[in-house]
Amino acid sequence: MPVEPLASSSAEIDFDHTDREFMQNPYEMFQTLREQCPVARSTKFDGFWVLSRYDDLIAAARDPQTFSSAAGVTIPDFGSPVPMVPIEADPPMHMAFRKLLQREFTRSRMAAFEEAIAALTDELIDKFVEKGSVDLAVELCSPLPSIVIAQLLGFPSDDWNFFRGYTEQLLETAKSGDLEANIGAALEFCTYLANALDDRRREPRDDMLTRVVEAEIGERPITEDEALGLTLLTVVAGHETTVGGISSMLLHVARTPGLKERLIADPALIPKAVEEALRVEAPIQGIARTLTKDVCLHGQQMREGDKVWLLWAAGNRDPGQFPEPESFDVDRKSNRHLGFGDGIHRCVGAPLAQLEMRIVMEKILARMPDYHVEDGGEVVFSGGQNRMVASLPVVWDPARAS
């Protein structure tokens, strides 16, 4: 993976977001792209364009007629056996599915979950708080969003580990580009979800799965495939993304001198730390679109049918939008980051993700106020479309813990 400056005449690069080694620190290359080659052409995965400047990303995200999501939003192809709505839908159908989810994830509905999420977070922390050291990525960041999403949909909480296993497997095979393996993994998980949806058709309950099977899309009932695709998306979109948000936030807060003390003294700053984490380490690094017509941008001719990678993570560090973009700064006057995307597909689960991230930060600071990254401990990021800290070894003084 070359990180040398690009020849200004050439748009061709060897960019591969699934390369774990490269993804340990991809930001130097993102800077080179923004400065020298804002419309680059990756030679990987049969070729795709990469947009990296903030203004170009906003313009593309707000033009779904040209930058379509209907042919899938992952590179390589995720290989879902059913359309993942609404993320893989264009207008006008997109809104009918999105509305269904919007009702589920309003801020007021999420507020009703606050106590339950706080209790779950405490339960997980109870298991290690007296030890003085733990891999936070493994023991807290990874399980919490799975348990929350399982409960929110109406699955038994005990199924969370099974949930996590499947989504991790799905995202892992997605990175490999082995479509057959991915469809196999997706089919297994879809069978489990489809059984639960069938169960709600026979015996409705007061849960989200029941509301999904009973939903109307325009004037007609939702189809079985649509209900399955929407449920699959909620699990996949709501899990590893939130793991990424929580783990990156805990890492940056630990590493930024004096920040823990400021957040403890003034908890009103915690939501700002949440947003700053989503800016500095976009949990979804990039997302794909497919062109519905030829587009010429910054002198590069892109053709109808070409894949385009909207590199949110590069836009989030664009100095034209964010002064001193590399620093983690909770005092930013304006933080209109692209961590949740932009335009009609902007993350519908954002209120839940922000709530989980805030609660975890509050609990960690209250219970392990001096937590810090272990000296010599190896912090490892995942590779792939989703960015998260896969290993986050931290230590603290158990005598100060509660």
Stretch that binds ligand HEM, among 106-114, 125-133, 290-298, 337-345 (CB under 6 A): 337-345
Q: Is the peptide bond before 76 cis (omega within 30 degrees of 0)?
A: yes
Stretch that binds ligand HEM, among 238-246, 259-267, 294-302, 371-379 (CB under 6 A): 238-246
Q: Is 83 in the site for ligand HEM (CB under 6 A)?
A: no
Closest residue by Cα to residue 30 from 58, 59, 60, 57:
57
The residue from 348, 359, 365, 390 that contacts ligand HEM (CB under 6 A) is 348
Q: Which of residues 240-259 bind ligand HEM (CB under 6 A)?
A: 241-242, 245
Q: Is 51 in the site for ligand HEM (CB under 6 A)?
A: no
User: How many other C-beta atoms can be found within 10 angstroms of the C-beta atom of residue 53?
Assistant: 21
179 in Cβ contact with 77 (< 8 Å) = yes
Residue 401 CB, shortest distance to ligand HEM, in Å, is: 27
List all residues 6 or more positions away from 130 whose beta carbon is below 8 Å from its beta carbon: 398, 401
d(CA 123, CA 90): 41
β-pair partners for 39: 51
Structure tokens at 215: 């939903």
Residue 189 CB, shortest distance to ligand HEM, in Å, is: 16
The residue from 26, 238, 325, 383 that contacts ligand HEM (CB under 6 A) is 238
Stretch that binds ligand HEM, among 125-133, 169-177, 217-225, 237-245 (CB under 6 A): 237-245
Count of residues that interact with ligand HEM, criterion CB under 6 A: 28
Q: Which of residues 173-192 bind ligand HEM (CB under 6 A)?
A: none
Closest residue by Cα to residue 230 from 198, 181, 197:
197
Structure tokens at 41: 């052409």
Distance, CA of 212 to chain centre: 22
Between 296 and 325, how does the x/- string for binding to ligand HEM read (CB under 6 A)? ----------------x-------------
Residue 379 CB, shortest distance to ligand HEM, in Å, is: 19
Between 130 and 149, how does the x/- string for binding to ligand HEM read (CB under 6 A)? -------------------x
What are the angstrom distances between the C-alpha of 38 and each of 8, 11, 386?
11, 9, 22
Q: Is 234 in the site for ligand HEM (CB under 6 A)?
A: yes
Reduce the DSSP state of residue 51 to 3 states and report it: strand
At 41, which helix (H) or strand (E)? Answer: strand 39-42
Residue 347 CB, shortest distance to ligand HEM, in Å, is: 3
Closest residue by Cα to residue 287 from 82, 78, 40:
78
Supply φ then ψ for residue 54, to 5 degrees. -50, -50
Nearer to ligand HEM, 141 or 348 (CB): 348
DSSP letter string over 185-219?
Answer: HHHHHHHHHHHHHHHHHHS--SSHHHHHHT-EETT
Q: Is 69 in the site for ligand HEM (CB under 6 A)?
A: yes
Stretch that binds ligand HEM, among 15-23, 108-116, 123-131, 334-342 (CB under 6 A): 334-342
Amino acid (one-letter) located at 105: F
Q: Is 352 in the site for ligand HEM (CB under 6 A)?
A: yes
93 in Cβ contact with 378 (< 8 Å) = no
Residue nearest to ligand HEM (CB): 349
Stretch that binds ligand HEM, among 159-167, 314-322, 336-344, 359-367 (CB under 6 A): 336-344
Stretch that binds ligand HEM, among 116-124, 185-193, 203-211, 282-290 (CB under 6 A): 282-290
Reduce the DSSP state of residue 287 to 3 states and report it: strand
Nearer to ligand HEM, 244 or 401 (CB): 244
d(CA 200, CA 240): 26
The residue from 100, 284, 388, 390 that contacts ligand HEM (CB under 6 A) is 284
Interface with ligand HEM (CB under 6 A): 69, 73, 86-87, 98, 101, 149, 233-234, 237-238, 241-242, 245, 278, 283-284, 287, 312, 339-341, 345, 347-349, 352-353
